[in-house]
Amino acid sequence: MDVQAILSAATGNHGAVNPYAAIAYLVSGILFILALRGLSSPATAQSGNRFGVIGMTIAVVTTMITHAPEAMVLDGDGSFVLDTVGLIEILVAIGIGAVIGIVMARKIAMTAMPQLVAAFHSLVGLAAVAVAAAAYLNPGAFGIADAAGQIFTVSRVEMGLGIAIGAITFSGSVIAFLKLNGNMSGAPIMLPLRHVINLGTLAAIIGLVAYFTVDQSPWVFWTVTGLSFVIGFLLIIPIGGADMPVVVSMLNSYSGWAAAAMGFTLHNTAMIITGALVGSSGAILSYIMCRAMNRSFISVIAGGFGADAAASGGGSKEQRPWKPGSADDAAFLMSQAENVIIVPGYGMAVAQAQHALREMADVLKKEGVNVKYAIHPVAGRMPGHMNVLLAEANVPYDEVFELEDINGEFAQADVAFVIGANDVTNPAAKTDKTSPIYGMPVLDVEKAKTVLFVKRSMGGVGYAGVDNDVFYMDQTMMLLGDAKKMADDIVKALNGGGH
């Protein structure tokens, strides 16, 4: 490649950009920022979502005007002829996507949100791959090639990165989906020499993207694509079910970087702004999830969490005395209480107990009890999942508090009602340096006057496979049984015994 070509590539001489279109894309980028800004409070969130819809409409309409399908044959004076068939094809494609998307959005159960999000991530990834491939096959249409069909150097790097990140997002999300959906065991799959294989594959991808700048042969492009699909798969299979909230957030981040890389290729500000927003968003959520589990990002990526836990959980356990209780006992204790803090965990959602739980809270509130909910960041299967599950059960959001906001209140609480949660209440995380969950921030339920712990049986342990000292404390009463049935029975006891 001669100096002239490198210079023109480096300065990005990609032909004229329609200034009106550029402004329109900028506007839609700003509307996307406002869409996220709206989420700072539930009160403004819906209007934020509408900004997002408007931003997307502007981006799509602008593109369809500036890049309307052009008929191959120009008429006599060389003016533009709209390709009606082409336009209809595009509209049909949008229509198909709209129907599938809306049906999925309406039908999905809130407990299955992590799977849906993983599925959506995989589509972003695959769409990025398809766009990058289309740009590679027809670079002239994207204004990224010179007259001889040579793709600009900068564009080759951007395109190579776009297809690599897109492919990793796709295959990684497919594995995450299968694990979350239960089609694949949540247990980590550990290949021998996996670190060597992974690092080797990553090095090969980077090397080939670099080589792509001097040789735009199809084999280079498609090998990068293939290897990236493989590495996405390899990266996620060793990660255990407990780390899935981090993985889903991480893939969210990747989908953003994929969009940004394509934005660089197309010189499109809407895509670049969005990619940067989504990329940072996913990265921050991954960080929040890691911090909530006291796991380093590297150790999550390295995988294997859950495998050792299963081993330690199977060890001999000393039998310690614990106090059983009934729904009637629980109803009595809570109706006499002034402050009750409910600590829901994913087990509550699995048992579909959220509506019964909210009913229980309603009856207590009617009797003058002050009821609050305490949410640990990893209470659900993805960031903020438990809040959605409670909102679905009509729990007002101003009764729901995050860990750092409510932890100081357990000391004043008469009852801490733990339902379907375990590890997130384990005081060993604060005291026992040998515990696998040591250092993880936990809810201080043991400071409450009474702890009511709803649990299926005394045998089962949480994800981390560790015993919880709270079970055996004097002020703890174990309510053994199905979470939903227990909540229902407490409601009955409250209503029956109230007068």
Partner 1 sequence: MDFIAIFSIFILACFVGYFVVWSVTPALHTPLMSVTNAISSVIIVGALIASAAAGSASSKWLGLAAVVMASINIFGGFAVTSRMLAMYKKKGR
What residues are annotated to the active site? Answer: 423
Based on CB atoms, which residue is closest to partner 1, 102 or 210?
102
Nearer to partner 1, 351 or 371 (CB): 371
- Say how many Å lie between the first and final Cα of the chain, rounded: 89
Q: Choose, by CB under 8 A, the member of 76, 77, 106, 474 that binds partner 1.
A: 106
x/- letters, 20..59, toward partner 1 (CB under 8 A):
--x--x--xx--xx-xxx-xxxxx-xx-xx--xx-xx--x
Among 121, 156, 295, 358, binds partner 1 (CB under 8 A): 121
Q: With CB under 8 A as the contact rule, which of the stretches 66-74, 188-196, 438-446, 451-459 interacts with partner 1? A: 66-74
Give long-range contacts, CB 8 A cutoff, 24+ apart: 430-435.
435/466
Cα distance between residue 143 and residue 94, in whole Å: 24
Judged by CB under 8 A, does residue 273 bind partner 1? yes
Burial grade of 8 (CB within 10 A; 0-12, 13-18, 19 or more)? middle
Spatial distance between the Cα atoms of 495 and 14, rounded to a whole number of angstroms: 73
Nearest of 268, 169, 149, 165 to residue 218 by alpha carbon: 149
Closest residue by Cα to residue 431 from 476, 477, 468: 468
Interaction of residue 18 with partner 1, rule CB under 8 A: no
Per rule CB under 8 A, is residue 149 in the interface with partner 1?
no
**Of 107, 467, 89, 481, whose CA–CA distance to 312 is shortest?**
467
Least separation, in Å, of the C-beta of 327 and partner 1? 26
105 touches partner 1 (CB under 8 A) = yes
Q: What minimum distance in Å lies between the beta carbon of 175 and partner 1?
A: 18
Residues 153-192 that bind partner 1 (CB under 8 A): 154
Task: Give me the least distance between CB of 288 and partner 1, in Å please.
Answer: 8
Q: Is the dihedral of CA 170, 173, 175, 178 positive or negative?
A: negative
Q: Which is nearer to partner 1, 203 or 402 (CB)?
A: 402
Q: Which of 282, 306, 325, 436 binds partner 1 (CB under 8 A)?
A: 282
Nearest residue (CB) to partner 1, 259 versus 300 = 259
| 288 counts as binding partner 1 under rule CB under 8 A | yes
Q: Nearest-CA neighbor of 209 among 251, 139, 153?
A: 153
With beta carbons less than 8 A apart as the criterion, state whether 251 and 120 touch. Answer: no
Are the CB atoms for 188 and 307 separated by under 8 Å? yes
State the minimum distance, in angstroms, from the CB of residue 177 to partner 1: 13
Among 7, 10, 187, 199, binds partner 1 (CB under 8 A): 10
